[in-house]
Amino acid sequence: MIEFNWLILLISSCIPIIVGYVWFNANFYKKISKSNEQLNLSIKWSLVSIIGLFILSFMYSITLSYQVIHQLHFQSMLINEVGFEKGEGNAYKDLIYILELYGKNFRSFGHGAFHGILNSIFLIMPILVFQKLITKIEWKIIAYIWAFWAICSMIMGGIICELYTS
| Domain spans in the chain, listed from the N-terminal domain onward | 6-70+106-163
pLDDT for 6 equals 94
Q: What is the pTM of this model?
A: 0.88
Helix ranges (H only) for 6-138 are: 6-13, 15-23, 26-32, 47-68, 71-78, 89-102, 109-119, 125-135
Instruction: Tell me the one-letter amino acid at 64.
Output: L
Instruction: State how far the Cα of 28 lies from the Cα of 32, in Å rounded to an integer.
Output: 7
Q: Give per-residue pLDDT as tens, 124-148.
A: 999 999 999 999 888 888 999 999 9
Q: Kindly indicate the confidence band of residue 38, based on its pLDDT and cuts at 50, 70 and 90.
A: low
Instruction: State how far the Cα of 21 lies from the Cα of 137, in Å rounded to an integer.
Output: 22
Q: What's the whole-number mean pLDDT along residues 36-58?
A: 82
Instruction: State how far the Cα of 52 lies from the Cα of 59, in Å rounded to an integer.
Output: 11
Q: How far is Cα of residue 89 from the mean position of the Cα atoms in its chain?
A: 33
Helices 6-13, 47-68: inter-axial angle, 10-degree rounding: 120
pLDDT for 29 equals 67
Instruction: State how far the Cα of 44 lies from the Cα of 34, in Å rounded to an integer.
Output: 25
pLDDT at 36 > cutoff 60: no
Instruction: State how far the Cα of 105 lies from the Cα of 103, in Å rounded to an integer.
Output: 6
Instruction: State how far the Cα of 140 lies from the Cα of 38, in Å rounded to an integer.
Output: 11
pLDDT for 17 equals 95
